Each structure stands twice: as structure tokens, then as C-alpha cells.
Structure 1
Amino acid sequence: MCASTVVKIAVINFQPVLEDSRPNKVATLRKMEHFIIEAVKSNADIVVFPELALTSYSGFPPDTAYELSEPIPGDSTSVIQKIASQYNIYVAFGMIERSGSKLYNSVPFIGPRGVLGVYRKVHPARFAEKWATPGDSYPLIQTPWGPIGIGICYDNYCFPEVPRIYAIKGARIHLNPTAIPQFKDADDTLDFYFTMLGARSVENNMFIASANFVGKQGDYDYFGHSMVIGPKPGKMNYHIYAGPLGIDEGVAIATIDLSSLKDLCLGVRTIFEDRRPETYTPLVKG
């Protein structure tokens, strides 16, 4: 059976529920359900929440991170799976995953029948994720629209290898659950955000669905601007297909046609065929 080429992707500007600065996962899951239902009203197929949406991104000490962690599958993924089954929708959201004695900054991708795959952040931010074990793989998520890739925040902005690996594997949709706060200069923040994701989308011929936090969490003030970005057909530039949302909570939905993607990078149709991996060994040397 051929994959469908048209998909509606919802990205969520989101703020988890905190009580006295402590995450309330039960209340946050109820809030996530509200936004999923809002996306369903617009016939969305996939809903993307931010990095660590379940708990917030607050620079937890290891003990707190462990208390907030869960296995996958687990209680929270079961809640989301029931919602996904009820509405026949697919959901990606960030959480602290516990596997044995290790914790991961993870994003499960959940469909009506359960967890389809889990991405573990390969490049945890050292200043805020001291509890996180780095992931070591790039699993493709098989969906009715073809394979989907996932990178988390820092993975996508500063390591172009991550989206490129997924593009080589055949992904034409890439998810960016992120927790990117406001820098000192607001214009610099937006320039960085658009420039990095725009470049990743154009150079890899893929649509990128980016979902960010809003509001204040601990020392971080988040600027939202969730969006779906991708190559602009017939142009050597990117196009924003949904959003960017502002600094308040909300939903942006893009209808994208994967058949519109052409193998174009600066006008060159053979970008992947022209790669010369044998010359890239310096990239993988320590």
C-alpha cells in the first residue's frame, strides 16, 4: 500500500502545569488532551508538543529528574495512546524516559495502536540536562505518510548531521520538539531559530514541524513561535507553512503535500547522489 502524500501536522505552543514550581503530570496530560482535541477539530493527523512537555525544562537535579521519569511504554504514554486511539491521531511529546538506571530526554511517537517509536536526544545540553544519558541512534518512525525523523532542540540547531541522517534514510518529515528560551536579544533569538530550521529544511528537502514552550519556567522565558517550515517549491529558500505562533499558547496546523518536494538544494536535483561520504571521515573523528 502506497503512503499518503498529504498530511496535516499540528504544532503546539505549550506550557506545562506547574504547582509551586513542581510539575503536575496529571494536569499536564489533561491539558495536552485539550490541545489534541483542538487539533482534531481541524482534522490534524499528527500533533507535536515541545521537548519535555510532560515535565517542563527546568534544569532538574538528577534526583528530581528520576522522580519525574517513566518507562516507555508507561502510565503517561498509555494516557496519550488512549486519546490517540479515540481520535485516530498521532502524537509526539517530550518526557523523561527511565530505562533501567538510566534517564533519557526522549520523545515517544504514539499512534492509535500504541508507541510506534522513541527518539532519545543524542546531544543533551550539558548545562541543563546533567541527568540525561545521550541517545545513540536515529530510529525512523514508520507512518501512513512514510518515515518520519525526530531530533530534539539542540540536536537540530547545532548538529546538521542529525536531520541529514534522517533525510538519507528517506524521511521527508522531521519533528523538532524544542525548549528554546528567549535570548537577551529577541531579534537574535528569532533569527537563529528561523535560520537554523530553514537551512535544515532546504538542505535536506524535508518539512520540519517545530513545537516550543511559552511562558516562564524557572530561569527560562520561552518565546513560542511553533511552526511548520519547509522548502518552497520552485525557489531556493524555505517557506513557513503554519505559524509561527506568537508567545501565547495555541495551535498551528499545516497541510503539506509531500509530493511537492523536489530533490533541490540550491537548484541541484542530485544532492543525495552527489554526496561523497568517503571524504567525510574528519566528521566522525574524535
Structure 2
Amino acid sequence: MIFIIVLDIEIVYGFPYKEKPEDTVIYNAAAVLGPEGFIGIYKKIHLYAVDNLWSAKGDEPFMFDTKWGPISLGICYDNYQFPELVRYYVWKGSRLHLNPTFAAEEVPNEGSRYAWKRCYAPHLEYLVLTSSIFIASSNVTGWDGSLYGGGGSYVIGPKTNAFEEVEVATYIGDVDDYQNKMHICTIDLSLAVRHQCTDNPYGGGPDYRPGIYKKLFDEIG
């Protein structure tokens, strides 16, 4: 905690979590700590494949307040296959979304790196393109037991091209980077305009319409 206080930062780390030591239920979770101490725990909502063999499903989204505004959190599969979770966060005001993840590469299969990149990067870039927010993704790199983490930790976010269209910019890191390292960069959160959630000058309101989506999900839920 000393370095958190001295540096005035928040940290997020993933771990298997029990609500009580005697519990048999385990969650795939991420804890958040800040200068004032413990902030909270997010329990992964969407479990990938064999995660279901050891982990229970969480059922609550998680955001935390900072001096720069709210920051949102999803774990791995939450972010790659369920963009509606991120859109919820964006509507609630998030401009920076965190992705602690173990995105494994199928080493030593031929073409594994190409296949891994085609899975990992486009899913995160899609969130930037459709929501105009920043994504900070921290992935395992190298062997952990029988699984090989693909690395590729980076921070990506929006930039606007000459045609007023959103493009994806990499602010630090590299999808091809296997090295264990700490990335430090400065981002301008004013670029995270959350365009779906702001008023369309031609439509009189935001393009994002949660009232409509609620009706649709009530029908199937």
C-alpha cells in the first residue's frame, strides 16, 4: 500500500476470490486498490469454457471513481464477446475501460500468433471504434502452467481522422510484444467523446437508446 499512497495511483489485479475463507464458491475476480485503501472487487460475469469448472459467475458490473472520472472493468471474455457490457459502462460515463486478461496463444501450433492476433486485437479495437473510449489491456505473457499467454499488453484509444471518423490509435505497447514490462503513458481523456451517448445534432438526442434495448432484453430475458 505504501507505493500506492506515495504515487497516488489505483491498481487492479486479478485473482481467484472467495467472499469468506470457509466458502467453497470461487470467483474469477479483480480487486481495485487506491490511495484511500480498498475500493472494490469485480467478479467476472461471463465465464469462458473451462472457467466454469472452477469459478462461479458474477452478476454485477463494476466501476470506480477517480479524479479523472469513472473507470470501468471487465475481465477477458467479458470484453471480447459481450460489447453490451462496455456500452453500459460508457453510458454511465466511463472513458477508460480496463481489460485484465489471460488471452492464450496456441503455441506451438503453426500460425498460432496470426490466429491469436486476429482474435485479441480486433475485439478490443471494435470497442474503441464504436464507443470512442480508451482501453487498457494487460495480458499474461509466456508460460503459466500448460498455457502460453500471448502478451500484447497495450493502451489503445480514439483519434479522429480528416473525415471526422473515429480511428484506433495505440498510445503505448504493441500487440506483438512478448516482454514482461510496465507501460506508462499519458492519455487525453477529452478524446474519449463517447459519441453514441452524446446528442446527435440532427436527431435531437443520443443515438444510443437504452429504453429500446431494455424492451428487447425484457422480451428474451
- Any idea what the Cα deviations from partners look like across 1:87-110, whole Å, max 9, x if unmatched? 322111101111132321111111
Matched, 1:224 2:157: no
Residue number in structure 1 paired with 2:77: 154
Deviates more, 1:275-284 or 1:138-147: 275-284
Matched, 1:141 2:64: yes
Residue number in structure 1 paired with 2:186: 255
- Any idea what the Cα deviations from partners look like across 1:68-98, whole Å, max 9, x if unmatched? xxxxxxxxxxxxx333124322111101111
RCO higher in structure (CA 8 A, sep ≥6): 1
Query: What is the TM-score of this pair, normalised by structure 2?
Result: 0.84
Matched, 1:279 2:212: yes
Determine the C-alpha separation between the residues in 1 that align with 2:186 and 2:67. Answer: 15
Determine the C-alpha separation between the residues in 2 that align with 1:96 and 1:221. Answer: 19
| CA RMSD, 1 decimal | 2.2
Shift of 1:261: 2.6
Tell me if structure 1 keeps the 8 A contact 2:90–2:194: no
Shift of 1:283: 4.1
> In the superposition, relative to structure 1, how do residues 182 and 283 fare at CA in structure 2: closer, same or farther (>3 Å)?
farther
Unaligned runs of 5+ in 2: none
Equivalent residue for 2:166, pick from 223, 226, 236: 236
Unaligned runs of 5+ in 1: 1-80
State how 1:95-174 maps to structure 2 within 5 Å.
95-100=15-20, 101=23, 102-174=25-97
Tell me if structure 2 keeps the 8 A contact 1:227–1:243: yes
Determine the C-alpha separation between the residues in 2 that align with 1:114 and 1:263. Answer: 30
Aligned length: 204
Tell me if structure 2 keeps the 8 A contact 1:147–1:171: yes
Query: What is the TM-score of this pair, normalised by structure 1?
Result: 0.66
Structure 1 segments, 4+ long, off by >3 Å, are 268-272, 281-284
Tell me if structure 1 keeps the 8 A contact 2:133–2:193: no
SS at match of 1:135: coil
> In the superposition, relative to structure 1, how do residues 168 and 264 fare at CA in structure 2: closer, same or farther (>3 Å)?
closer
